[in-house]
Structure 1
Amino acid sequence: MALNRLQLSNFRNITFAELSLVQGVNLFCGPNGSGKTSLLEAVHMLSTGRSFRSRKHKAVIQEGALGLTVFGRLSGGDSLGVERLADGGGRIRINRAPASSSSQLASCLPLQVINSDSFSALDGGPGVRRRLLDWAVFHVEHSFAEAWKNYQIALSQRNALLRRGKIVPDLLSVWERRLAESGEHVDALRQRLFAGLNAALTALLKSLPDSPLSRIEMSYRRGWRKEVSLIQALEESRQGDLAQGNTRVGPHRADLRFSASGEAAHQILSRGQQKMLVCALRTAMAELVCRHREKPVFLVDDLPSELDELNQLQFARWVSRCASQVLVTGIEVEATSRPWLALSPPWNSPKVFHVEHGHISAESSAAT
């Protein structure tokens, strides 16, 4: 699914913009601070209900404005709309009807984002990597969202009982059974998805035979010992959990690890190699999703940064197989468009937009 039309108002330094986008590649070029990243951020809000740079909606709203709006029309005809107000209110609409949750937006417009924060997949905390894995599970396994919601409810209830400091065995056992049932389901879905993700990532990395990336291995840790069931792990951990006031085992402690010969990937790879690994991981996730539903949209902030031309071209080839559309930012049109011009149609005819001081204007396609 691609975005045909994008309209936004009062989004950071962009007072108003209305754009017609193409399937394939859309390039947004201009100096730093011009509003290029804000445009990608607005598309992200259209898919998730939030910014990828700030958890506070007020920080994204243009100074002096009462609120912001983002509207998009998809290639299939559906429309999405997000309104965020400075007082904390807002609305989410799909085909002009109220949506009950932001997950409905994500289902309509699956996104993959590659930006400066993407390195946290390697050197950040486990929560970052869990969310990456769960993005793919959510879009592939239809029962995941409900299972994860049930798990979170049971987890919250068990933690509340632990924080009281006095365990009521019968009540605690009720929530532990629910926690174990939903948690085992969540883990089963993750493990099934991980097997496919690992195979897809390995294939992409093996296509880089002269790179240290071809030796990188990814592993999945489910959040409790392999030798026991989740209900057993919860029982074993109960006294320690009571002392700390929270549940220390379960799918909410799961993690992905990236390593080579026992060393963490982010400790042995250069910055450019780390970015290429993240690009491969995001591509592998998209490949899995497009086997089960329509291809996602990629948002790529400053692709030329830290990647040489050969790696940029390799990434462009990968993306052209599993994305419906790419929105890419860069400073110079020539450098930003170069990897895409080497591809076949429609990828070799990027639509170019010039961005400066929050103003966005369409230019002619990049020269072939």
Structure 2
Amino acid sequence: MARLEQLALTNFRCFEHLNWALAPGFNAVLGANAAGKTAIVEALWLLATGRSFRTARLNQVIRHQQNQAVVFAQVEGHRLGWSRTLQATTLRLDGQSVDTQAQLSKKLPLQLLTPESHRLLEEGPRLRRQYLDWGGFYHFSDFMAHWRPWRRALKQRNQALRLGQPLQAVQVWDGVLIQHGAALDVLRRAYLEEILPPLQRFVGALLPEVTASLSVHYRSGWRQGLTLAEALQESAPRDREQRTTTVGPHRADVRFRFDGVDAEVALSRGQQKLFVCALLLAQAKAFQQRHGRPVVMLIDDLPAELDADHRAHLLALLAEQGIQHVVTATDAALLPGVEQANTLQL
């Protein structure tokens, strides 16, 4: 079983020191507002992804008047470390420095649910692409072999466009974009096909009152009927005018609809949050089927917008799937089954 065994924080947000041993199943973090509950979730998310869901300025996680924040976790016998000084971030795995975040991410597959998770449905396509690429990263062994060179080529092509360089200097990157961008498109489509059956099952479990038919609509990021090579050729004048690459996987999107109506319109706010739970559970199921071990689920402020019955149902589903989960709340009474949880009181 994939298992987060221990978390230690030093000078992270409000914590001078924190050391917490976690249980395999239900882990609850309880405390008043501003006690540090979300900081614990943020620390784990930073360790697993290299990103904060609270700030783009990582120096803000360093405790006031300190020079370095450190996050350490023991995961299935591996030691994962993330530290941030005012100048740089350092990553460590089993005592050795590592160059890429992906090396830590592979050891700690985390999913995150916050009170803002409904933004995945309501806002632009960036968050939905991140959802797809989380799946691609963990599901396909060759995903990063395509994503890295495609991303590098896209960055170089956009720089050439911004500088107004000749067409030849722009198009020199097209071969790499086409080869790896088309491969990413294939992987994203294959991943959506794989998670659709479990997604439909979890929607039925969490939203039994919704009888409308769920459908998934994926857009590649270029005009339907064209290859990526044809789309790049067609978009060349527009790219030069806008000084950026206007077609490709970075413009992809996926929409979820109920009887043809977008989920953010068809569902209430509470139902949207439950639907995002179903999306995460579908990913968790696909991960477990592929790797034979579950993910770890982080849920910040579970009671937000979910009534007691839905909270109980979601926690029961997590237990049924064997998913280790870390859940925050202001009061133990808001978490059904908390008496069986491993509880950290702040």
TM-score computed with the length of structure 1 as normaliser: 0.89
Q: How does 1:325-344 map to 2 (within 5 A)?
A: 325-336=324-335, 338=336, 340=337
Q: Unaligned 5+ residue runs, structure 1?
A: 342-347, 356-368
1:328–1:214 Cα change, 3 Å = farther
> Match of 1:328, SS?
strand
User: Does the CA contact (< 8 Å) of 2:206 and 2:314 recur in 1?
Assistant: no
Q: Which residue of 1 aligns with 2:342?
A: 351
How far does residue 39 in structure 1 lie from its aligned partner after superposition? 0.9
1:214–1:25 Cα change, 3 Å = farther
1:83–1:209 Cα change, 3 Å = closer
Counterpart of 1:155, as a letter, is: L
User: Does the CA contact (< 8 Å) of 2:206 and 2:278 recur in 1?
Assistant: no
How far does residue 260 in structure 1 lie from its aligned partner after superposition? 2.4
Counterpart pick for 1:257 among 255, 258, 264:
255
Say yes or no: does 1:82 pair with 2:73. no
1:89–1:157 Cα change, 3 Å = closer
Give the superposed CA RMSD. 1.7
CA distance in 2: counterparts of 1:196 and 1:11, whole angstroms = 38
CA distance in 2: counterparts of 1:208 and 1:21, whole angstroms = 27
Counterpart of 2:38, as a letter, is: T
Q: How does 1:16-55 map to 2 (within 5 A)?
A: 16-55=17-56
User: Does the CA contact (< 8 Å) of 1:271 and 1:306 recur in 2?
Assistant: yes
Counterpart of 2:71, as a letter, is: V
How far does residue 312 in structure 1 lie from its aligned partner after superposition? 1.6
Counterpart pick for 1:189 among 174, 179, 187:
187
Q: How does 1:128-277 map to 2 (within 5 A)?
A: 128-169=127-168, 171-208=169-206, 210-212=208-210, 215-277=213-275
Counterpart of 1:267, as a letter, is: V
CA distance in 2: counterparts of 1:302 and 1:140, whole angstroms = 29
How far does residue 208 in structure 1 lie from its aligned partner after superposition? 4.9
Greater Cα shift, 14-23 or 42-51: 42-51
How far does residue 323 in structure 1 lie from its aligned partner after superposition? 4.8
How far does residue 234 in structure 1 lie from its aligned partner after superposition? 0.4
How far does residue 16 in structure 1 lie from its aligned partner after superposition? 0.8
User: Does the CA contact (< 8 Å) of 1:165 and 1:242 recur in 2?
Assistant: yes
CA distance in 2: counterparts of 1:213 and 1:335, whole angstroms = 29
> Match of 1:116, SS?
coil
User: Does the CA contact (< 8 Å) of 2:157 and 2:171 recur in 1?
Assistant: no
Counterpart of 2:62, as a letter, is: I
Say yes or no: does 1:302 pair with 2:293. no
Provide, for residues 174-193 of structure 1, a one-character-per-residue CA deviation record: whole Å limited to 9, x for no partner: 31121111101111111111
CA distance in 2: counterparts of 1:312 and 1:201, whole angstroms = 19
How far does residue 318 in structure 1 lie from its aligned partner after superposition? 2.5
> Match of 1:248, SS?
coil
> Match of 2:6, SS?
strand
> Match of 2:317, SS?
helix
Say yes or no: does 1:288 pair with 2:279. no
How far does residue 314 in structure 1 lie from its aligned partner after superposition? 2.4
How far does residue 214 in structure 1 lie from its aligned partner after superposition? 5.1
1:89–1:213 Cα change, 3 Å = farther
How far does residue 166 in structure 1 lie from its aligned partner after superposition? 4.7
User: Does the CA contact (< 8 Å) of 1:92 and 1:102 recur in 2?
Assistant: yes
CA distance in 2: counterparts of 1:246 and 1:148, whole angstroms = 19
CA distance in 1: counterparts of 2:265 and 2:308, whole angstroms = 24
CA distance in 2: counterparts of 1:42 and 1:258, whole angstroms = 30
TM-score computed with the length of structure 2 as normaliser: 0.94
Q: How does 1:311-326 map to 2 (within 5 A)?
A: 311-326=310-325
CA distance in 2: counterparts of 1:103 and 1:315, whole angstroms = 29
> Match of 2:305, SS?
coil
> Match of 1:238, SS?
helix
Q: How does 1:117-136 map to 2 (within 5 A)?
A: 117-136=116-135
CA distance in 2: counterparts of 1:15 and 1:331, whole angstroms = 21
How far does residue 22 in structure 1 lie from its aligned partner after superposition? 0.6
How far does residue 132 in structure 1 lie from its aligned partner after superposition? 0.9
> Match of 1:54, SS?
coil
User: Does the CA contact (< 8 Å) of 2:8 and 2:17 recur in 1?
Assistant: yes
Provide, for residues 77-129 of structure 1, a one-character-per-residue CA deviation record: whole Å limited to 9, x for no partner: 110011101x2223110000011111111110010000022111111211111
CA distance in 1: counterparts of 2:218 and 2:238, whole angstroms = 24
User: Does the CA contact (< 8 Å) of 1:286 and 1:323 recur in 2?
Assistant: no
- Provide the identity percentage: 34
Q: Unaligned 5+ residue runs, structure 2?
A: none
How far does residue 261 in structure 1 lie from its aligned partner after superposition? 3.3
